[in-house]
Structure 1
């Protein structure tokens, strides 16, 4: 077959392959992959993602126009990114313009990027010896008695008032 049709271009070959290999399960699989795929700016490049989606849609619907394919792909972005791309490009727009505006928006703004938290593992290492551990509560001591069994407000021992020592005055004669 290759020797008979060697003069045909790539599009003819693509059409022949699609017409010979397409069956219901393949169509179902391609529709599911198109519907389930969504653009993630951290793992997908705009050019490759857009072209993959375009190839999937053009394989499923050969009679669909390029503008309809572009609009279906733009709906896959959703939210702010879709709105920003539509605002930058006028309605009859080529795929190159869409891809350029996508790359421009994603690289220059935070639109299309999701917030991810960096959850770090706790680096607290439990201490092994009892001497190294910090006590849970500070140990309170009575000021005058020095005992740790009770606090000053519950102390039953009477405290002695400080005795004033009178220093005898030496009289000068």
Structure 2
């Protein structure tokens, strides 16, 4: 039956889909009441979208109310946009990689370690705090005796 095969998806216009499905239901059973028609329409929606629409519309709402509410749900929420079951699950994004032409292959080139030296005397044997020579004092000015 064409009614059962035409499930709602996000690429379809909600108003046209609701109208088409309502006409099909009317053709099947012209004496169908509004509650039964609404129930059958809602069962054609995906699970989360069906639940959200049932919470927002009552059983006696019109076809216009259903299509407008469906349109609002489609615009304002992410309900129904992700279908992990059809595509086999969510796929993780691959990390962004840039290949450089000058990049060395294999192990990363080791960085040459900087040799620390004493800034006071310039020797590489010790650090400033352990320097055996006296510190250079910038402010050490000899006093000249005044005559």
Normalising by structure 1, we get a TM-score of 0.48
Alpha-carbon distance change, 133 to 103 in structure 1, aligned in 2, over 3 angstroms: same
Runs of 4+ in 1 over 3 A off after TM superposition: 115-120, 131-134, 136-140
Is the 1:39–1:77 Cα contact (8 Å) retained in structure 2? yes
Give the C-alpha shift of residue 96 in structure 1.
1.1
Q: What is the SS of the residue equivalent to 1:90? A: coil
Whether 1:45 aligns to 2:13 is: yes
Once residues 100 and 69 of structure 1 are traced to their aligned partners in structure 2, the CA distance between those partners, rounded to angstroms, is 17
Whether 1:135 aligns to 2:105 is: yes
Give the C-alpha shift of residue 110 in structure 1.
0.9
Gaps of 5+ in 2: 85-89, 111-147
1:110 aligns to what? 78
2:128 aligns to what? none
Alignment size in residue pairs: 105
Normalising by structure 2, we get a TM-score of 0.55
Compute the RMSD of aligned alpha carbons: 3.4
Is the 2:8–2:17 Cα contact (8 Å) retained in structure 1? yes
More helix per residue: 1 or 2? 1
Gaps of 5+ in 1: 1-30, 141-173
